[in-house]
Chain A
Amino acid sequence: MKICVLIKQVPDTDSVIKISNDQKSIEMEGITLATNESDSYALEEALLLKEDQGGEVTVLSLGGESCQQVLKDALAKGADKAIHLDDDDYKDLDILSAAKVMVNVLKDKEFDIIFSGLQSDDIGNAQLGLIMAELLDTSHASLVMGTEILDEKTIKVKQELEGGWFQWSELDLPASITIQSGLNKPRYASLRGIMMMKRKPLESIKVSELNLENTSSKSFVHKLYIPQKTKETVFIQGSADQVVDGLIEKLTNEIKVL
């Protein structure tokens, strides 16, 4: 089984986010970077499948030099190879262009499964896995909560539907699958894994040297801002019955908790 996991480096969820003066990006100084949460689960799912089925796990990340750290973490946890698509300006790429860059390197590698996290914690497109499936012409499932290999050509996945419902489906391989956080327990890097990390291949490819066409972005960030928190007090007037009715109406239709 050849598995690829797409991993993104994002600001740690504990970071205090400040918006830059140009209002198009965030201040990176003082921010700790980490592996995108759902990508950690995707990696764990890949490692579990490898342990069960044999094979090889490759991790891939598109980003500046710092993103090698998330690749090294993945190698320390048990991935076999890493590919770094080195691009300091990757933030200017929209998700379709980013996918095209990745596909360019992945298309000849014949992966059986491409795992990615459901969405990134920074931009939150939640589209990468789907676009990869389209560009590479593979099957696809999103929001996956469980996987099971049925045979060399088929994977069974459990997907989360609305309202607490789940659905099992069988997909032909190869497949691009996006993973929902919480389906497994991501492992910690072991001391031995960290010591082994240096001996595993980490290939760095400069995106600028790939001479790609058709990767100019079609969508742009216009403005970033932190949502205003507002407080509003509404007095419901009338008799006790009218107050109760008014309250129920607000809780049901406006606040939507009933």
Chain B
Amino acid sequence: MNKPQLLPTQKINYSNLKGRGGKFLVSPVDEGNCYSRDMFSEENKMFLDAVKEFAEKQILPINSDLNVLNEKLNRDLFLEMGELGILNADFPEAYGGMSMDKVTSIIIAEGLMVGLNASFMVTFADHTGIGSLPIVWYGSKAQKEKYLPKLASGEWMASFALTEPGAGSDALAGSTQAVLNEAGTHYILNGTKIFVTNGSWADTCVTFAWVDGKKFTSFILDKDCEGWVVGAEEKKIGIKGSSTVTYFFENCQVPVENVLGRVGNGSAVAFNVLYVGRYKLGGITMGGAKGALELAYEYAEDRKQFDVPIRSFGMIQKKMVNLVVRAWEADAVTYMTAGSIDDGLTHMDPNDEKYYEIVQKVIEDHGIETSICKIVGSDASSANVDDALQIFGGNGFIEEFPIAVMYKDDRINRIFEGTNEINRLIIGGTILKKAVLEELPIREMISNRSRNWIPDRQYNEDERLNYLAQLIEFSRSLFFFTLNESINYYGQDLKNEQWILEPIADMLISLAIMDSGFKRNKNIKENSSLKSAMMPVIDLVIHNRLENMLNDGGNILAHLDCCDNHERKNELTVQKQKLQIKFSRISTMKLIMKDIDKNKKYYLD
């Protein structure tokens, strides 16, 4: 295959894609909309303000007390947040919750991060997410009645124990066994679970064991279960105010009515709730990325060297701009994801019996997006705490300064809720699955774009935006070209070829950022100051990401060419020549810095 085949153009019905996972990938920038914070309802805005105010007054002032283990402080905050609906927004209304949408749960994550306390956020996210959600989703009526109201009010704290010494990323490799006792009343669990968040404080635990050695099953434990032994606290690099322990199940007696879901259905319980954990962590880390930015900006303004605030130095300014851009990117993909999941659930009644079954399906359908949120958020916050610390100079290395603690606390984000490697694997695997099962019009896109990498049409009336739209559509075509070539070369084996899957995942991440960032702009009121101020940010993000796309796509194509002596990369070179890139990175970044100084808004509210 020297020249790519020209395939027939195929029609795609974009309106069918509303609320579907992966929609961003196949919808050109002028097709379909994308949720962003600019679409917040009045209630959304008021709730964000209320949560921020809570975090500012109730968390920030006790920040250092929350950085050491202090069960009572955490429980007191839980109770207060239970009253306000911050703890239980996601819980069903019938069991003391609010049955709120996913945008609200991101608003809560973002708002609470104003308290700048990662330890507490881990405690909170573990409780409201993986600790309680399995019961919301899979619990029987009796289980829900017994556990949910107390978890929703904050009276009880939840934990989730899946990881074992031999089973981390490979979560099903665990060896904990469950055997039904002779009377048929209890399962007897034996095994060890490690790294259990909220471990020594929790009143409940959702855990997993093999029944009869072959049926992976989920169980709810509570303090009445004899044989649930809690180990000592781990000594961690960061999030030192969050409890992390080992659980030993020593003939632990779990009543049969505490089987969660069906016997043998444990892997669905484990994996489905993790999707939720991921976009929530996306929200938390996006909030963290913003927090680091605020601290750095304030410091750069106050700190003088050579008689001027360090903010006036170009190298500091460049960091400031990058801090803004990363937070902006995380913001765009996180709200895009939450909004799309909500779209998928619009006509559903939370009181419907099948509601949570459908919620799971919709969230699972967004497997690409949820992993993107996790990766983009955690990469943004880790780069931001690092740059922010550098701006603090020596003070950044001293723990009295919150940025030092944030730096250490942040490291876990790339590890738990699926390491960022595992999340890239999920992105790669899911896109292949969606292609094979034809869940998305991927074949259609491959053939439509084989002809013309930049479909000849007017995307936007504004000349610059039209140009940027062309860059995005070029990137989209590059992605489909690369994906198609990789599938053609590797066939089924592509799913095991991580050297290729990782850059494919990275291309998808870049595309999600470009696409949601551009579409966000459409949601902003014409002629508003935000709209014009955001232009250089969009410009910079799209060019940065285009560069990544060319890099990742180029590497894959060059490798394939090496393998079979074909000339795919030439096609990229030819198509790339049609792009006439008009961009000055330094001027654009300087423009952004000027606006940051003027508005101190960072385009993030």
- Residues on A facing B (Cβ under 8 Å): 30, 72-73, 76, 188-192, 194-195, 197-198
Interface: B415 (CB within 8 A) = no
Interface: B54 (CB within 8 A) = yes
Q: B45 → chain A, closest Cβ, in Å?
A: 9
B104 surroundings in chain A (CB, below 8 A): 191
A146 CA to B47 CA, complexed, in Å: 30
A30 surroundings in chain B (CB, below 8 A): 599-600
- Answer whether A191 and B85 are a contact pair too, CB < 8 Å, given A73-B46, A76-B46, A197-B46: yes
In this complex, the member of A30, A189, A190, A191 whose beta carbon has the largest number of chain B beta carbons within 10 angstroms is: A191
A198 surroundings in chain B (CB, below 8 A): 42-43
B89 surroundings in chain A (CB, below 8 A): 191
Interface: B86 (CB within 8 A) = yes
B308 surroundings in chain A (CB, below 8 A): none
A198 CA to B104 CA, complexed, in Å: 17
Interface: B237 (CB within 8 A) = no
15 CB < 8 A contacts A-B: A30-B599, A72-B42, A76-B46, A76-B50, A188-B50, A188-B53, A188-B84, A189-B47, A190-B83, A190-B85, A191-B47, A191-B86, A191-B98, A192-B85, A194-B50
A194 CA to B98 CA, complexed, in Å: 12
Q: A7 → chain B, closest Cβ, in Å?
A: 16
B54 surroundings in chain A (CB, below 8 A): 188
Return the 4 tightest CB-CB contacts between A and B, nearest first: A191-B85, A189-B50, A190-B84, A194-B46
A73 CA to B600 CA, complexed, in Å: 25
B98 nearest CB neighbor, chain A only: A191
Chain B's interface size range is 10 to 19
Interface: B100 (CB within 8 A) = yes
Check B83–A194 contact: CB distance below 8 A.
no
Check A189–B43 contact: CB distance below 8 A.
no
A72 CA to B84 CA, complexed, in Å: 17
- Answer whether A72 and B46 are a contact pair too, CB < 8 Å, given A188-B53, A192-B98: yes
A185 nearest CB neighbor, chain B only: B57
B50 nearest CB neighbor, chain A only: A189
- Answer whether A191 and B84 are a contact pair too, CB < 8 Å, given A73-B46, A198-B43: yes
A76 nearest CB neighbor, chain B only: B46
A195 nearest CB neighbor, chain B only: B43
B83 surroundings in chain A (CB, below 8 A): 190
A97 CA to B352 CA, complexed, in Å: 56
A188 CA to B86 CA, complexed, in Å: 11
A78 CA to B43 CA, complexed, in Å: 15
Interface residues in B68-116 by Cβ distance below 8 A to A read 83-86, 89, 98, 100, 104
A194 CA to B104 CA, complexed, in Å: 12
A72 surroundings in chain B (CB, below 8 A): 42, 46
A190 CA to B42 CA, complexed, in Å: 14
B43: contacting residue among A73, A188, A197, CB under 8 A = A197
B100 nearest CB neighbor, chain A only: A191
B53 surroundings in chain A (CB, below 8 A): 188
Q: A189-B84, A190-B83, A191-B100 are in contact. List 13 more A-B contacts (CB 8 A).
A: A30-B599, A72-B42, A72-B46, A73-B46, A188-B54, A188-B84, A189-B47, A191-B50, A191-B84, A191-B86, A191-B98, A194-B46, A194-B50
A189 surroundings in chain B (CB, below 8 A): 46-47, 50, 84
A198 CA to B83 CA, complexed, in Å: 20
A218 CA to B126 CA, complexed, in Å: 61
Q: B160 → chain A, closest Cβ, in Å?
A: 24
A72 CA to B45 CA, complexed, in Å: 12
Interface residues in B257-289 by Cβ distance below 8 A to A read none
Q: B536 → chain A, closest Cβ, in Å?
A: 19
- Answer whether A194 and B599 are a contact pair too, CB < 8 Å, given A76-B50, A188-B54: no
Q: B597 → chain A, closest Cβ, in Å?
A: 12
A189 CA to B43 CA, complexed, in Å: 11
B100 surroundings in chain A (CB, below 8 A): 191
Q: B436 → chain A, closest Cβ, in Å?
A: 42
A73 CA to B47 CA, complexed, in Å: 10
B600 surroundings in chain A (CB, below 8 A): 30
A243 CA to B513 CA, complexed, in Å: 70
A191 nearest CB neighbor, chain B only: B85
A188 surroundings in chain B (CB, below 8 A): 50, 53-54, 84
Q: B465 → chain A, closest Cβ, in Å?
A: 26
A189 CA to B52 CA, complexed, in Å: 11
B588-605 interface mask toward A, CB cutoff 8 Å, 1 = contact, 0 = none? 000000000001100000
A87 CA to B100 CA, complexed, in Å: 36
Q: B542 → chain A, closest Cβ, in Å?
A: 28
A195 CA to B85 CA, complexed, in Å: 11
Q: A134 → chain B, closest Cβ, in Å?
A: 36
A76 surroundings in chain B (CB, below 8 A): 46, 50
B50 surroundings in chain A (CB, below 8 A): 76, 188-191, 194
In this complex, the member of B47, B83, B98, B600 whose beta carbon has the largest number of chain A beta carbons within 10 angstroms is: B47
A73 surroundings in chain B (CB, below 8 A): 46
A191 surroundings in chain B (CB, below 8 A): 47, 50, 84-86, 89, 98, 100, 104
Q: A181 → chain B, closest Cβ, in Å?
A: 14
B538-563 interface mask toward A, CB cutoff 8 Å, 1 = contact, 0 = none? 00000000000000000000000000
B42 surroundings in chain A (CB, below 8 A): 72, 198
A72 nearest CB neighbor, chain B only: B46
A192 nearest CB neighbor, chain B only: B85
A188 CA to B46 CA, complexed, in Å: 11
A38 CA to B47 CA, complexed, in Å: 22
Q: A79 → chain B, closest Cβ, in Å?
A: 14
A192 CA to B84 CA, complexed, in Å: 8
Q: B81 → chain A, closest Cβ, in Å?
A: 10
